[in-house]
Amino acid sequence: MFYKGKLIVDPKFNGIKIPTMYLYNQFINSNKTDPRVRAMAMELGLQAHLMGKFLEITGIFRTREKNIEIYGRDKASGHREMPVRAIDFSLKDLDIEDIAHLKNHFAMFLDNGSYWSFISHDVGAGAHLHLQAPHADYNKILWEEV
């Protein structure tokens, strides 16, 4: 693991920057971050790396207080569960073409059906990319329908 100031660039996570040890420890712990959303983040990070860019993680777990600050109330969110099912990334080093490439890659290879999402939006915390996996029970429901 390399430290550049406070920014963590781990060679195991090509294309992903993690600004704090707090976020790094959340990202690598399967009890804190759903492995499905982490795997997708790593794939999108690889795509960013191939473009010569980085995806910088800006949020994983969100406290009740932070949710109220963003939405004006506490609400259900993939950021409020354990393990967390959502990861936010900064847009600051990405241009429109980069974002389009990442969204197209997600749509072609990673979108596993309803409730998987990879969007760019601003809901009060600033513009960012939001990656989210469905509830784990959703996978069970899909298999039971087959």
**How confident is the model at residue 34, as a pLDDT?**
95
Q: How far apart are CA 108 and CA 124, in angstroms?
A: 29
Report residue 121's pLDDT band, with 50, 70 and 90 as the boundaries.
confident
- The pLDDT > 90 percentage for the chain reads 51
Q: 10 Å Cβ neighbour count for 105? A: 18
Q: Which long-range contacts (CB under 8 A, 24 or more apart) does 111-120 make?
A: 113/142, 114/138, 118/40, 118/44, 120/91
Does the structure show a pLDDT above 80 at 123? no
Query: Which two structure tokens, joined as six digits, stand for 116?
Result: 């998987």
The string of pLDDT tens digits covering residues 65-103 is 988 888 888 888 889 889 999 999 999 889 999 999 999
Q: Give how far Cα 93 sits from Cα of 51, 53, 89, 104, 109, Å.
A: 11, 7, 10, 18, 23
Q: How far apart are CA 112 and CA 130, in angstroms?
A: 16
3-state secondary structure of 122: coil
Q: In the chain, what are the domains? A: 2-145 (3.30.1380)
Strands 7-9 and 2-4: antiparallel
- The pLDDT > 70 percentage for the chain reads 85
Query: Which two structure tokens, joined as six digits, stand for 61?
Result: 């777990």
